[in-house]
Chains A and B, each alone.
Chain A
Amino acid sequence: MLVCAVLFGALGIAFFYKNRNETLKPDQFVQEKASFMRLFQNSSEIHKLWTEGEESREWSLIKTACLKHLGITTKFDETLLRCSPVLLQCHELFSKNLTYKFVNFEEFDNSPYRYMTKSNTSYTGLRDPGVTVTIEDLKTKKRMDVFLADQCQEVYLEQRAYAYGEPVDPKDGEDYRFDNFNRHLYLDTHLVTNAEVNDWLKFGNPDFTRGIKAKKENDLFLPATDLTYTQMENFCSFKGKQVMLAHFFDAATFLPMDLSEKIPAKNTRSPYYWTKKASDYKSDCNLIYSKDCLAKKPYQLNSIGPTWAGMQDSMGGVFEVFRNPIDPESNLRASSFYFDSKSSWHKLGFRAGWNGEGFDLRDFDFRGLNPFVAIDKFQVGFRCMREVMQ
């Protein structure tokens, strides 16, 4: 009996101490949690870099090495680095003193990222397309998969009444009006770049990208201009979007006379995105990048100011194709660097036609207002748009 009592006492003391130790956080678990939270912190820093792009501290540190690595020698609009995997690639290669590393995807030429859309992943619950990176904590080798939504280069189209096409003389009829109330439309701010098409080639279904060649170096941040219309449609579909509709392009480019009046009695509009007065037209390469500008400064994407709604390159530069559900044969913004600044093509809502297949003069319908240049291959850009549920 005495032995039993002693044993009880000893084990009781041991039990007490054992339990007391359990209330303290054992180092192993605490360290693992700390490493997990460190990875989460790293994820939010990568996301910050992803959205800040050219404004990030990292870009200022790695810019020279990055451009050299990519072979980019010409100037480009660096805001295109926002939500761009190109910046992540350079961050992986050139940023120093990171506490993590990117895990490369062997099946994609050791790319440090993977472009994910609903068409190339079975992961449920994705709304937006975006980029996935896997980061590994250098200390503990723990990993975290991070998804970065590709949504910085879109702009919301305000819900209001708009008009399509050039203004109609009251004698000839009424303007074609429409509205987008109760709809959430997001329009790409810039034309699709070659870098974006490269991601489609790498991560999209090869059945839809056959024959398209990847671009590099100075072409990366130039618009993709050698896709057929069907390929453009498929590119936008890859991202869950559609090719820009002509009437929504008009909505985002015609400057409303009164921004506070959402349903004006009439949609009076000027043919120029920067002014309410048609008489304010002037030849200025910062407003329309026309043929005259080629000799003054090299063409680049986002070369002129944005429209009232935040859309870039609404006039000048390369051609831009739309899907026009009203007048399907008027599907091309001909305002471009193929026409000089005095050309009547430099008007919003005035469109030419493209058959969507070739790039020779015979593939276009310029309504008799042909360009006075001998061009082997015209460049046709495009952008996408999408509607989002509430």
Chain B
Amino acid sequence: MRLILGCLLLLTSCIRPDQAPMSVAEMDLKLTQEWIYATLVDDVKYNNEVITRPPGFEQLAVSLIIPQAGGLVDKKHCVYYQVPYKEKVGHIRVQEIKNQTECPDSTTDDKFFVSLDNVTNFKIAVANYKIIMSFDFNKQKAEITIPTPNVELGLIHEKYRPLTEKRLISGLRLLKLSDDSFDFASNKYLGQLSDRFARGTAIRCQQVNKDCQTVGENRCEQCRYGWYEVVDFQCPQGGSKFCGQNHCGEKNEPACPRGIKVVDPLDAGICQSDLEPVANADKILICQ
């Protein structure tokens, strides 16, 4: 009897590791429901190539940035693949990291968003705003295709045309809304409607130095009520920028950029006709 129980125990441990085995269909669904919201797909080492090396080792195959429910903060999915070797089976594992730190080189614990064993010939292709994973699972071919409509690869500015985004469908985005999305206390966008440069309350969202380098992070996309550029070092990429309502040209406000191709750099600021542009301590032209 003891022998039978021993055999059963041994067998059970073979069938069930620490969690129920996942099917490809289940993995497909779980990943689709998250990855379709991804805003960035990164760390693609072997795009559209079967990963064959190093055998027996787990490695990062791709990482994705995905908004958490409500869209207030992002999380990261780190996708790992272990190339099979001898007794080590090939596996796909996805770990979810709540903050946006770098994905470790390999999985750090045994908590997985998805996990699939007995995988070989794993290949991941990131192209045309889609992620395609193909592999053999228990010696059967499998493929998972997930569109990534939220991934944006830049903008297209074209005369006579509206703004076009380089994404699967320009102007379309999928959101993960919750009540938190509309909780004003959680609004992290920058600036108030009453902010004014003249009062010293406007937030500088991009600082350009005299060498025309951007100092620190450019946060202008985070301005709640838009942003405006000032005239400082006549840099080719423009001057420093501030969040809020634009009052350029008015008294004690920055001069508006006039460009430098048709006027002398000394006249590069626009002020109301009764005011003169004067450089302040930050070399920003102010109308006084």
Task: Give the size category of B's interface with A.
Answer: 35 or more
| Chain B: CB-nearest residue to A330 | B273
Inter-subunit contact A33/B32 (CB<8 Å): yes
Q: In the complex, which residues of chain A have a beta carbon less than 8 angstroms from the beta carbon of B186?
A: 122
**Chain A interface mostly helix, strand, loop or mixed?**
mixed
For residue A1, CB closer than 8 A to chain B, the reply is yes
Complex CA distance for A233 and B258, rounded to whole angstroms: 22
Complex CA distance for A130 and B175, rounded to whole angstroms: 12
Complex CA distance for A240 and B188, rounded to whole angstroms: 15
Inter-subunit contact B26/A29 (CB<8 Å): yes
> Distance in Å from the Cβ of A31 to the closest Cβ of chain B?
9
Contact A26 B26, CB 8 Å, known A8-B7, A181-B259, A242-B246: yes
Task: Give the size category of A's interface with B.
Answer: 35 or more
Inter-subunit contact A208/B223 (CB<8 Å): no
Complex CA distance for A103 and B174, rounded to whole angstroms: 15
For residue A300, CB closer than 8 A to chain B, the reply is no
Complex CA distance for A124 and B155, rounded to whole angstroms: 19
Inter-subunit contact B228/A123 (CB<8 Å): no
Inter-subunit contact A155/B162 (CB<8 Å): yes
Residue interface bits A179-192, CB-to-B below 8 A is 1, else 0: 11111101000000
Q: In the complex, which residues of chain A have a beta carbon less than 8 angstroms from the beta carbon of B169?
A: 44, 47
Inter-subunit contact B163/A125 (CB<8 Å): no
For residue B226, CB closer than 8 A to chain A, the reply is yes
Inter-subunit contact B180/A122 (CB<8 Å): yes
For residue B62, CB closer than 8 A to chain A, the reply is no
Q: In the complex, which residues of chain B have a beta carbon less than 8 angstroms from the beta carbon of A125?
A: 39, 67, 71
| Chain A: CB-nearest residue to B181 | A123
Complex CA distance for A4 and B4, rounded to whole angstroms: 6
Q: In the complex, which residues of chain B have a beta carbon less than 8 angstroms from the beta carbon of A152?
A: 162, 171
User: Can you list 10 pairs linking A and B with CB atoms under 8 Å apart?
Assistant: A23-B24, A24-B23, A44-B172, A124-B67, A146-B173, A155-B162, A156-B157, A156-B160, A180-B259, A388-B163
Other A-B pairs, 12, CB within 8 Å; known A156-B157, A178-B259, A326-B270: A7-B7, A23-B24, A36-B32, A40-B174, A51-B171, A118-B224, A119-B224, A122-B72, A122-B181, A122-B189, A146-B174, A146-B175
- 8 cross-chain pairs, A with B, having the tightest CB-CB distances, nearest first: A325-B249, A179-B259, A25-B25, A123-B71, A29-B25, A149-B171, A158-B159, A122-B186
Give A residues with C-beta under 8 Å from B: 1, 3-4, 7-8, 11, 15, 18-20, 22-26, 29-30, 32-33, 36-37, 40, 43-44, 47, 50-51, 118-125, 127-128, 130, 132, 134, 144-149, 151-158, 161, 177-184, 186, 208, 233-234, 237-238, 240-242, 245, 247, 263, 309-310, 323, 325-328, 386-390
